[in-house]
Amino acid sequence: MKGKAFKSVWVAAFAVAFVFATVARAANDGEVIPAAATAEVKAQIQANEAVAGRAMGNTNHEARKGSMYAWTGFPGPCHKPSAALILLEKMGPYEVIVGDTFTYRIQISNRTDIDVFSVTLSDVLPDGFEVEKIEPQPVSTSGNEMHWDLGTINARSAKTISITGRATQVGCLVSNGRARICYEMPLPLVTRVIHCDIEVTACLPPEVEICDAIPLEVVVNNTGTGTATGVTARIDLPEGLVTADGRKEIAWNVGSIPVGQAKRYTFRLKAQKTGPFAVPVLAFGDRNCAAAAEASTVVKAAVLYLQITGADKSYIGTKVGYELTVINVGDFDARDVCLVTTFAGPVQPLETSMGRLAKDGKGTFKFGTIPVGESRTVTIAASSTAAGKVFLRGAVGAYCAEEKCAEKVMDVFGVPGILTYLSDDVDPVALNGTTTYTITATNQGTRTSTNLAFTCKLDEGMEFVSGSGATAVTASGDTVTFAPLPSLGMQKSATWKVTVRANTE
């Protein structure tokens, strides 16, 4: 045509073999097929497979879920359909029953981004196939060969021919087709001039708790005018921060980033100590592209302190009080704070400011959240049941806070209580007669009394005759002395007897 430049390319001689293999099947309910007949069927199947193999030749083909599929393409026979620019395909059933109607399709696909013009197709009908319908109709036929003029196939589109008929004989149906493709296209040559530039941003939460995972988000953005290629990035973590798997550095391949697009990455970090942290991020690309950014965060923690106050000593049976105070001395609110207390030793817990203790003396006190710098207090009352040491132990913990323990020791003492009882066996006493006094000392206290000693004063006109008992009894003038008793246990008694004579009325 005058004033226009055309380029015609012929794509021809794409021999596509498409095989429909049919096997006659015999079924006779309950009847046993003779061995000779079975061998005959097997021989027929093997013969069909041999014909199919020869017909296919070097054509690409495969079975797909009960169908046979064959293809070829431009440029050259393609090992896979996706590699073709102009793709010729045939699709039909893998196997049919003789006499049944079936359809196979021929499709030409333009997989390029430009239109293809003046497309023609020739196909040869297989022997043993009776045509019932063809859509679209061929423009001409010559014997078994049919010709179609498909005109223009637009970019990224296809045209399909459907051929419907039936097999008239057992064996293989083989069809061969050829496509003639003519088209024209512009052939520009463009060289782009670009500016290469990348930008990197990094983001951390302003503050985190020490045991929480720390999300680090990194975005690498192409701010230039051409694709950024060969981009890599690196992070060297500061002392005290590591990745979730314990690494000190992160390096990865970003690859290529188209113009105006970005790639986003998220990493999980964990803190090994509290304090402020700055995380640098570097990115590099081809053609001297480079960028840097920094993200900051502060790692905080709740730090608990437990203090127990109470008496250092007490006496058996005396009610004593303890005060337990939990203080958050850290820089982050302590959440889910829980205090557990236990007693050991001769003690009977009585009550607390937050309810009664368990029978075994164990207490659990939940304080919820204790803000930074604040405290919570609970009091416990108890009574000792015997002399010895009483231990009150406390352990306080919270979410993401180290457990802290404290202990209070109290010495419990018993109190001796001596009851003295005096009686006489003769009263009144005859002049110059005698009477015997019985002196009983009983320890009613809560501890053993030691080095117990007595002295008695005789009334005027009385004379010491004799004495006996738990210890030796001696007299000097009107004073009667009992030798010291080394010990007198709780609820124990000691007895002495002193006989005197009445010398005057």
CATH of residue 426: 2.60.40.1170
29 lies in the same domain as 142:
yes
Q: Quick one: pLDDT band at residue 179, thresholds 50, 70, 90?
A: low
- 28 and 173 assigned to the same domain: yes
More confident position, 46 or 418: 418
Give the mean pLDDT of 434-461.
88
Quick: pLDDT tens for 448-481: 888 988 899 988 889 999 999 999 999 888 899 9
Confirm whether 193 is domain-assigned.
no
Tokens read off for 449 = 């009394």
Predicted confidence at residue 42, as pLDDT, reads 52
Whole-angstrom Cα distance, residue 120 to residue 289?
51
Are 230 and 132 in the same domain?
no
**Last residue of a domain, which of 350, 384, 413?**
413
Query: d(Cα 320, Cα 333) in Å, to the nearest integer?
Result: 33
| Residue 66 DSSP one-character state | T
Q: Considering only residues 17 and 142, tell me which one the structure prediction assigns the higher pLDDT.
A: 142
One domain, residues 266 and 160: no
* 455 in any annotated domain: yes
Q: At 51, phi and psi to the nearest 5?
A: -65, -45
Are 474 and 356 found together in one domain?
A: no
Q: Can you give the pLDDT at residue 17?
A: 36
Domain end, chosen from 264, 283, 300, is at 300
Q: Could you tell me if 169 and 28 lie in one domain? A: yes
DSSP E strand stretches across 272-387: 275-285, 289-300, 304-310, 313-315, 319-328, 334-344, 347-352, 363-370, 375-384
Q: Where are any strands of DSSP class E within 86-236? A: 86-93, 101-110, 116-124, 129-135, 140-142, 145-153, 157-167, 171-180, 198-203, 207-209, 214-222, 228-236
Using the predicted structure, report yes or no on whether residue 419 has a pLDDT greater than 50: yes
Helix (H) / strand (E) containing 396: strand 388-399
Q: Does pLDDT of 57 surpass 80?
A: no
Decide if pLDDT at 56 tops 70. no
Q: Does the pLDDT at position 24 exceed 70?
A: no
Domain identity same for 49 and 166 = yes
Structure tokens of 296? 């900051």
Q: Answer yes or no: do 157 and 52 share one domain.
A: yes
The reply to whether 319 and 404 lie within a common domain is: yes
Residue 9 lies in a domain: no
Reading the block at residue 323, the tokens are: 């005060």
Residue range 377-417, pLDDT digits in tens? 999 998 888 888 999 999 999 999 999 999 999 998 888 88
Most confident of 76-85, 355-364, 421-430: 421-430
CB 108 within 8 A of CB 91: no
Q: Which of 150, 180, 210 is the last residue of a domain?
A: 180
Query: 330 and 210 in one domain?
Result: no
Element (H, E) at 37: helix 35-56
For 449, the enclosing helix (H) or strand (E) is: strand 449-457
What local confidence, expressed as pLDDT, does residue 184 receive?
Answer: 52
140 domain-assigned: yes
CATH label of the domain that carries residue 392: 2.60.40.10
- 186 within domain boundaries: no
Quick one: pLDDT at residue 324? 95
Residue 77 lies in a domain: yes
N-to-C CA span, the chain: 173
Nearest Cα neighbor of 108 from 121, 123, 93, 124 is 121
Question: 293-337, pLDDT tens digit by residue?
Answer: 999 999 999 999 999 999 999 888 888 999 999 999 999 999 999
Asked if residue 231 lies in contact with residue 198, where contact means CB atoms within 8 angstroms, the answer is yes
pLDDT at 219: 97
Average per-residue pLDDT for the chain: 83
Question: Would 117 be classed as within a structural domain?
Answer: yes
**Which CATH number characterizes residue 82's domain?**
2.60.40.290
260 and 176 fall within a common domain: no
What is the Cα–Cα distance from 246 to 262, expressed in whole angstroms? 28
In a domain, 189, yes or no: no
In tens, the pLDDT along 248-301 reads 999 999 999 999 999 999 999 999 999 999 999 999 999 889 999 999 999 999
How many secondary structure helices (H) and strands (E) does the chain include? 1, 36
Q: Are residues 392 and 424 in the same domain?
A: no
How confident is residue 191, by pLDDT bands cut at 50, 70 and 90? low
Q: Sheet containing 334-344: give its strands across.
A: 313-315, 401-413, 388-399, 334-344, 363-370
Q: Give residue 311's domain range.
A: 304-413
Identity (one letter) of the amino acid at 373? G
**Cα–Cα distances in Å, from 470 out to 148, 408, 444, 488?**
141, 42, 18, 10
- Quote the number of domains for the chain: 4
45: CB partners within 8 A, 6+ apart: 23
pLDDT of residue 2: 32
